[in-house]
Amino acid sequence: MSADLQAKIKAIPYWYHRIELPGGVITPGWAPLNPKSYGVPDRLDGHRVLDVGAWDGYWTFEALKRGAKEVVAIDDFSDSLDSYTSVPRGNWTTFDLCKEALGYTDAQCSRREMSVYDVGPDELGTFDTVFFFGTLYHLRHPLLALDCLSSVCKKWIFAESAILDDFSPYRGGLGKGYPEPNQLLMEFYPDNQYGDNNTNWWAPTLKALIHMVRVAGFKDVLGWKLMDKPDHAARCRGFAAARKPDAPPIPGL
């Protein structure tokens, strides 16, 4: 079984997520760099979770491992990885392979190819928790996306994005970002200025990310960086976690 699974995994040209599967099999992706840095509680018992930009499904399956009763995964596979590879992100091949290997049912996790701008209670219902990882900076309209997610979120949101605190392509690259505290700004990339990838549209400072989440209808927003002194642009990431006004505090934060 594990040999057959490994052969299927190897036949796929690119993996983003590193996912542990039965039999000691691990997919060859590189993300997430540090799962604990995302601030997601150890337990999500009984939660209905929305995983935005799910791709291979690491956080979909992780939510189920942490006790979620149901996860809905959405993604839009219309873009490529970057101009160097021109490898399309494909469809749900990797997600479905991992889901089958892990033994999850459609009732536990379903997936839909859809834009985040189409998210709403009439379309998907409501969710206790929303994951919004690695997606914001790929969006032409990030505040609209956060408004859409707020419309379906009953309790908590967890977001992750490229941030400008330690990196700016306009200011000289790594180590030449916007380290001063409380800078509420974003950079706009009309072409491929960020990472030579024309699907990267915006990057905020961490402070801007925090306030973008806040104005979408959340409170007690906490923000933090992946690391204090990142050694690569891909590690220049920031996180935000927040709750709806009537929701309980997020455990551990």
Q: What is the mean pLDDT of residues 150-165?
A: 98
State the residue for tokens 């219902």.
Answer: 125
Rounded to 5, what percent of the chain is helix, strand, coil? 25, 25, 45
Q: Does domain 33-243 have CATH number 3.40.50.150?
A: yes
Helix axis angle for 58-65 and 93-102, nearest 10°, is 20
For residue 179, cis peptide bond before it (omega within 30 degrees of 0): no
Question: Which tens digit of pLDDT belongs to each residue from 89-143?
Answer: 668 999 999 999 999 999 999 999 999 999 999 999 999 999 999 999 999 999 9
Q: What is the pLDDT of residue 84?
A: 46
Q: Which of 44-48, 58-62, 88-92, 183-187 has the lowest mean pLDDT?
A: 88-92
Give 12-35 pLDDT, tens digit per residue: 989 999 999 999 999 999 999 999
Q: Does the pLDDT value for residue 232 go beyond 50?
A: yes
Phi-psi region of 206 (alpha: psi -120 to 50; beta: other; left: phi over 0): alpha
Tokens describing residue 219:
């409170």
pLDDT higher than 90, residue 78? no
Distance from C-alpha of 93 to C-alpha of 90, rounded to nearest angstrom: 7
**φ, ψ of residue 52 in degrees (nearest 5):** -90, 130
Q: Based on the number of CB atoms within 10 Å of its own CB, is 14 exposed (0-12), middle (13-18) or buried (19 or more)?
A: middle
- pLDDT (0 to 100) of residue 88: 63
Give the pair of three-digit tokens for residue 175. 């180590």
- Letter for the amino acid at 220? D
* The pLDDT of residue 229 is above 80: yes
CA 120 to mean position of chain CA atoms: 18
Identify the H or E element spanning 49.
strand 48-52
96: how many CB neighbours lie within 10 A of its CB?
12
Domain ranges of the chain: 33-243
Question: Residue 77 is encoded by which pair of tokens?
Answer: 């596979």
Q: Which residues pair with 223 in a beta bridge?
A: 240
Strand partners, 49: 71, 129
Measured CA to CA, the distance from residue 117 to residue 149 in angstroms comes to 9
**Confidence (pLDDT) at 82:** 55
Average pLDDT for 62-82: 88
